[in-house]
């Protein structure tokens, strides 16, 4: 059995890392196909180096572009590689353009697709990620749903129960595999100049937030209010999309402690010691929940409702006063919720399911 692991962005590298490690542990035949959607050192290579992942056998270097251009270039490149490599199964993770292109290219030439993190829904089709998730789920053969809720989303859309496997989310595996090193080995707090528990951590990068000048301005104003109210640093590792828009719109973020995107161990260490996390990232909402750090989501919906249900997260929208109010509320939360994303053995289940069903 030969597997293709198709990935291309920061969260896919992080969330696929436990699957890749498991494929290696089981001595399976596999190769990594990187689309090159992310390519800056701090969004790509740093994770391969730090997590000790094998080099991608193929890198399509598609880079940035409009949705159509980027996805189209990926489709052409992925198809070529798959026709040459002839894997028995292709694995994709999440909801990016890389995931859609990987799934579509594979299924069109008869290669079964395994979708890791299947069944998430924000029910907001204006998000590119929602379109990618829905389409990918509907062409996949193995749907690795992280939770029962994700499974029920799939069933409601008419996807056959036989294709769905509730495995937990591989982010739990990734956190468990790396948290000790992150907390003990990283001196990120000293480097940034903040004290344990005495700062807020923020990430904002989503297209619907940062590509909208007024909305991005509102979020930054909300963060300024938090800095003023609590008199604590607000640390923001700035995603390249957000950096580009800040420059273009002339937004400053003066009250924030802005840094470059961080490596995984540094970021994980910074998350686990934060007073509270504010984010529009999917992966960061999950990690905050797993690490028992309260989270305020800077969006109007979430495809991770489990985090809200257990009391770890709140949806704040993007209005400044509301961001401050929700932060004041969440900062008081007792950190005793249960992690809803599984036991950290998702990758083991995924690999054993594909090797059983596809034949080792």
Whether 138 is a known active-site residue: answer: no
- Pick from 9, 106, 122, 218 the residue near ligand UD1 by CB under 6 A: 9
- Pick from 31, 39, 165, 267 the residue near ligand UD1 by CB under 6 A: 39
**Residue 3 phi/psi, 5° resolution?**
-115, 140
Round to whole Å and give the CA distance between 105 and 310: 38
The number of residues that bind ligand UDP (CB under 6 A) is: 16
What SS3 class is residue 307? helix
Determine, following the binding rule CB under 6 A, whether residue 14 of this chain makes contact with ligand UDP: yes
Identify the burial level of 160 via C-beta atoms within 10 angstroms of its C-beta, where 0-12 means exposed, 13-18 middle and 19 or more buried: exposed
Spatial contact of 316 and 298, defined as CB atoms under 8 Å apart:
yes
With CA atoms as reference, report the closest residue to 211 among 121, 277, 127, 303: 127
Determine, following the binding rule CB under 6 A, whether residue 36 of this chain makes contact with ligand UD1: no
Determine, following the binding rule CB under 6 A, whether residue 284 of this chain makes contact with ligand UDP: yes
**Minimum Å distance from CB 81 to ligand UDP?**
24
CB nearer to ligand UDP: give 10 or 121. 10
Neighbours of 158 (CB within 10 A): 7
Order the strands of the 276-279 sheet from edge to edge. 257-259, 234-237, 200-203, 276-279, 295-297, 313-315
Binding at 269: pick from ligand UDP, ligand UD1, none (beta carbon under 5-8 Å per type):
none
Determine, following the binding rule CB under 6 A, whether residue 312 of this chain makes contact with ligand UDP: no
- Helix, strand, coil fractions of the chain, as percent rounded to 5: 50, 15, 35
Determine, following the binding rule CB under 6 A, whether residue 261 of this chain makes contact with ligand UDP: yes
Residues within window 47-86 making contact with ligand UD1, judged by CB under 6 A: 64
Binding at 64: pick from ligand UDP, ligand UD1, none (beta carbon under 5-8 Å per type):
ligand UD1
The residue from 34, 38, 115, 205 that is catalytic is 205
Stretch that binds ligand UD1, among 15-23, 31-39, 218-226, 339-347 (CB under 6 A): 31-39
With CA atoms as reference, report the closest residue to 341 among 299, 282, 298: 282
Question: Which residues have a catalytic role annotated?
Answer: 205
Binding site for ligand UDP (CB under 6 A): 10-11, 14, 203, 205, 237, 261-262, 264, 267-268, 281-284, 287
Binding site for ligand UD1 (CB under 6 A): 9-11, 37-40, 43-44, 64, 95-97, 128-129, 205, 239-241, 244
């Amino acid at each position: 059995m030969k597997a293709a692991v198709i990935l291309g962005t920061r969260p896919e590298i992080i969330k696929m890392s436990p699957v890749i490690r498991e494929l290696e542990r089981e001595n399976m035949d596999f190769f990594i196909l990187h689309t090159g959607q992310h390519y800056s050192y701090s969004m790509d290579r740093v994770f391969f180096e730090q997590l000790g992942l094998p080099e991608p056998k193929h890198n399509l270097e598609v880079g940035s572009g409009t949705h159509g251009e980027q996805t189209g270039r990926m489709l052409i490149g992925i198809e070529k590689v798959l026709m040459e490599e002839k894997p028995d199964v292709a694995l994709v993770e999440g909801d990016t353009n890389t995931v859609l292109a990987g799934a579509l290219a594979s299924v069109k030439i008869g290669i079964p697709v395994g979708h890791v993190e299947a069944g998430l829904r924000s029910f907001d089709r204006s998000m590119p990620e929602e379109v990618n998730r829905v389409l990918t789920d509907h062409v996949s053969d193995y749907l690795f749903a992280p939770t029962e809720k994700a499974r029920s989303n799939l069933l409601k859309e008419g996807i056959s129960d036989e294709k769905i496997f509730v495995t937990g989310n591989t982010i739990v595996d990734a956190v468990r595999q790396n948290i000790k090193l992150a907390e003990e080995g990283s001196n990120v707090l000293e480097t940034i100049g903040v004290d344990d528990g005495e700062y807020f951590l923020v990430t904002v990068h989503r297209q619907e937030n940062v590509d909208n000048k007024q909305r991005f301005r509102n979020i930054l104003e909300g963060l300024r209010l938090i800095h003023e109210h609590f008199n604590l640093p607000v640390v923001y590792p700035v995603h390249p999309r957000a950096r580009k828009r800040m420059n273009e719109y002339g937004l400053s973020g003066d009250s924030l402690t802005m840094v470059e995107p961080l490596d995984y161990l540094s970021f994980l260490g910074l998350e686990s010691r934060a007073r509270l996390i504010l984010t529009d990232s999917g992966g960061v909402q999950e990690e905050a929940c797993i690490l028992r750090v309260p989270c305020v989501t800077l969006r109007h919906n979430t495809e991770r409702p489990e985090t809200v249900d257990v009391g770890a997260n709140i949806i704040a929208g993007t209005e400044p006063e509301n961001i401050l109010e929700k932060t004041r509320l969440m900062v008081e939360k007792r950190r005793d919720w249960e992690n809803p994303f599984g036991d950290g053995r998702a990758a083991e289940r995924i690999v054993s399911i594909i090797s059983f069903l596809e034949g080792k």
